[in-house]
Structure 1
Amino acid sequence: MFYKGVYHLFYQFNPYGAVWGNIVWAHAVSMDLIRWIHLKPAIYPSAPFDINGCWSGSATILPDNTPVILYTGLNSLNQQVQNLALPLNLSDPFLVEWIKPVEHNPLMVPSQGLNASSFRDPTTAWLGKDGHWRVLVGSKRRKRGLALLYRSRDFKRCVSY
């Protein structure tokens, strides 16, 4: 992501070892895409909607220049849900602090008939000509893979198609 002259790289990282588990969203910044400064994690498990893990996702910059992260959280019931995180301080070009507004999270939950342990990987959102935001979330029903399309007028409340 490019924000206020700074490149941001977010990646899944286990701070305790090179094994699966304990995943956080590590965060590095660069001015030139060659030299990188590693910051503290942008997102880590801390709320009921992601207490068992913060997994894959994407970043989008809204028309008002606000960066938003969509990510898969593993909630207290071990269900995968989609959440959003926002920068605490928009004037900070390094975006060091991120918040997860409880009034908007989880943003998307698996509907009836979907496997709640396979509801993940939200794409970068895009704004349609009709003024609605759209995002795809991967899932499955039985053994069949699905790409679920969600839409939103304000990016903070989603409706599935």
Structure 2
Amino acid sequence: MVWAHSVSHDMIHWVDLDLALSPTEQFDMRSCWSGSITILPGNIPVILYTGIDSNGVQVQNLAFPKNISDPFLEQWEKSPRNPIMTPPQGVAGDSFRDPTTAWQDPDGKWNVIVGGLINNEGIAFLYQSEDFVTWTKVEHPLYSSPGTGMWECLDFFPVFVNSSNGVDTSVVNPSVKHVLKISSFSNLHDYYVLGTYAPETSKYVPDTEYTGKSTDLRYDYGKLYASKTFFDKPKSRRILWGWANESDTMEDDIAKGWAGVQVSSEADLSYPYCYWYLLGFNLASS
């Protein structure tokens, strides 16, 4: 897999550019899987993504724009420090993926979660960093739930309690609650819980537990999966991107050179550049 790259003025009409990321190094030799973008101070975007290394192990990597003055951010450079995260003890090499957009606590510390699995317990592993390059796993996960299978494509963000406006990912105060979105690899549906995040303890307590059952809260009841949100600051809204997966065979996907379609919507969450960038992953044609 690779990261495709498109650019748009309005998020409706898109122009394809060259690939942003493709397998080139030992740490992503077998694939460049999903991840997220975080905007660092100074309006510097950085990609956190899962690479499948030469041994087939899922590791987390960084990439930065090669030329920050390029309005289209067409070229990206992978960090020489990669991989920056490897599977924790007890986690299989194929069960550690999809880093989220990072959020910054009031003390300046960066946080990111990565989906994982131990003994059929879905886990949101929590990592912290002072410089966005060196990351340390927190002793406890942000959240976990026994018997729920592999969690992938996690998303974690605040929502206002009394407004439908969106809010920046790093906001933490009494006016917000936090959404943890879980993409269940067991049944390919997107679920979520709403709860309280305490930065002083790095703990998240959901109002109701995620159980892996049909009664859990879902984003959508169609084919939407592996969704991702971002905060649209100029319009104070949160936009959700999702993958509408198809039923074609793998052989057909390879012949086409692509698989699935991307859909978006403005997230109704009641309870900076001049261009928009869409970086997604697709099958590399042979």
Please say whether Structure 1 and Structure 2 have the same fold, judged by a TM-score greater than 0.5. yes
- For 1:5-20, what aligned pairs fall within 5 Å after superposition? none
Are positions 1:86 and 2:64 aligned together? yes
Q: Percent identity at matched positions?
A: 54
> Which residue, 30, 35, 56 being the options, matches 2:8?
30
Give me the whole-angstrom Cα distance separating, in 2, the residues matched to 1:119 and 1:34: 33
Letter in 2 for 1:159: T
Q: Which residue of 2 aligns with 1:56?
A: 34
- Residue 113 of structure 1: how far off its partner (Å): 1.1
Aligned length: 138
Q: Which residue of 2 aligns with 1:98?
A: 76
Query: What runs of 5+ residues in structure 2 fail to find an aligned partner?
Result: 139-286
Q: Which residue of 2 aligns with 1:6?
A: none
Contact 2:61 2:79 in 1 (8 A): no
Task: Show structure 1 runs of 4+ deviating over 2 A.
Answer: none
Q: Which residue of 2 aligns with 1:135?
A: 112
Are positions 1:124 and 2:104 aligned together? no
Q: Which residue of 1 aligns with 2:189?
A: none
Contact 2:29 2:54 in 1 (8 A): yes
TM-score (norm 2): 0.48
Q: Which residue of 2 aligns with 1:157?
A: 134
CA RMSD of the aligned region, Å? 0.8
Q: Deviations over 1:86-126 (max 9, x none)?
A: 00000001000001022x20011112111211100111001
Larger % of helix: which?
2
TM-score (norm 1): 0.84
Q: Which residue of 2 aligns with 1:108?
A: 85
Letter in 2 for 1:35: H
- Residue 34 of structure 1: how far off its partner (Å): 2.3
Give me the whole-angstrom Cα distance separating, in 2, the residues matched to 1:111 and 1:90: 33
Give me the whole-angstrom Cα distance separating, in 1, the residues matched to 2:11 and 2:136: 37
- Residue 145 of structure 1: how far off its partner (Å): 1.0
